[in-house]
């Protein structure tokens, strides 16, 4: 497996859930981890215990905002691994949901990935090395009627990821998707649903670390996860 020590890892949506769990695992491997989300206070709460174990930096940025993304990545410098984890989702009735609902989901789940990936690609190309991991979902392959806009955003993310994967392979850059089924995160807050059999954020984080740890010349394009409980 690849040694990730000293690699610079940027994780979006790192203030909770999968992002926070991934941060802990990358820090344990000796990576230089940059936590990114809109709220600095939440990031600092995640970072506090991790700073005792390794290098952790917090950067506040809105992944949907082009200027915010450019400023954040300009301050971070070269990035070895980008984990596009920031995501928004909620139940939607397509006959009554608003344009604001549509934009909230699409701009975070698709536009945000585009902007953050575009920010790191020139540096990765110049070094002919790097890895981008996009956190998708099983509903990006088979939709459900409860959250169709969320499903559509993940279908769009999958198409973007596949196209990017093919474009940058010649540059030595890996692009992977990690596609979990339901995960016990804040996505489900406020819903009357039993989460006891859901995947845990740490389990998805382990899959993210696994795909970027493969030996040189090996790319896991997509990995589906579901709980066996």
Q: In the annotation, is 150 catalytic? A: yes
| Residue indicated by tokens 């009554």 | 96
Cβ atoms of 83 and 9 within 8 Å: the answer is yes
Contact 106, 157 (CB under 8 A): no
Closest CA to 131 of 120, 146, 147: 120
Local confidence pLDDT in tens for the 229 residues of the chain: 899 999 999 999 999 999 999 999 999 999 999 999 999 999 999 999 999 999 999 999 999 999 999 999 999 999 999 999 999 999 999 999 999 999 999 999 999 999 999 999 999 999 999 999 999 999 999 999 999 999 999 999 999 999 999 999 999 999 999 999 999 888 888 788 888 899 999 999 999 999 999 999 999 999 999 999 8
Question: Does domain 8-225 bear CATH number 3.40.50.2300?
Answer: no
Q: Report the distance separating Cα 31 and Cα 229, nearest Å.
A: 32
**What whole-number distance in Å separates Cα of residue 47 and Cα of residue 40?**
10
Tell me the whole-structure pTM to 2 decimals. 0.96
Q: Which of 102, 150, 160, 187 is catalytic?
A: 150
Residues 6+ apart with CB under 8 A from 128: 171, 172, 173
Q: How many residues does the chain have?
A: 229
């Amino acid at each position: 497996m690849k040694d990730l020590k000293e690699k610079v890892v940027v994780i979006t949506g790192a203030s909770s859930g999968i992002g926070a769990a991934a941060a802990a695992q990358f820090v344990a491997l000796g990576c230089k981890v940059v936590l990114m989300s809109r709220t600095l206070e939440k990031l600092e709460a995640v970072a506090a215990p991790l700073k005792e174990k390794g290098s952790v930096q917090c950067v506040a940025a809105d992944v949907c905002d082009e200027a915010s993304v450019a400023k954040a990545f300009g301050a971070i410098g070269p990035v070895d691994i980008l984990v596009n984890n920031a995501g928004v989702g909620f139940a939607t009735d397509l006959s009554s949901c608003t344009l604001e609902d549509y934009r909230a989901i699409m701009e975070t789940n698709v536009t945000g990935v585009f902007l953050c990936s575009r920010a790191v690609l020139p540096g990765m190309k110049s070094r002919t090395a790097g890895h981008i991991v996009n956190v998708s979902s099983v509903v990006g392959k088979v939709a459900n009627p409860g959250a169709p806009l969320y499903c559509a955003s993940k279908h769009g993310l999958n198409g973007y990821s596949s196209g990017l994967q093919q474009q940058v392979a010649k540059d030595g850059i890996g692009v992977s998707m990690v596609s979990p089924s339901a995960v016990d995160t804040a996505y489900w807050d406020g819903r009357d649903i039993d989460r006891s059999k859901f995947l845990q954020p740490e389990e998805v984080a382990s899959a993210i670390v696994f795909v970027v740890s493969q030996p040189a010349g090996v790319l896991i394009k997509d990995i589906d996860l579901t709980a066996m409980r």
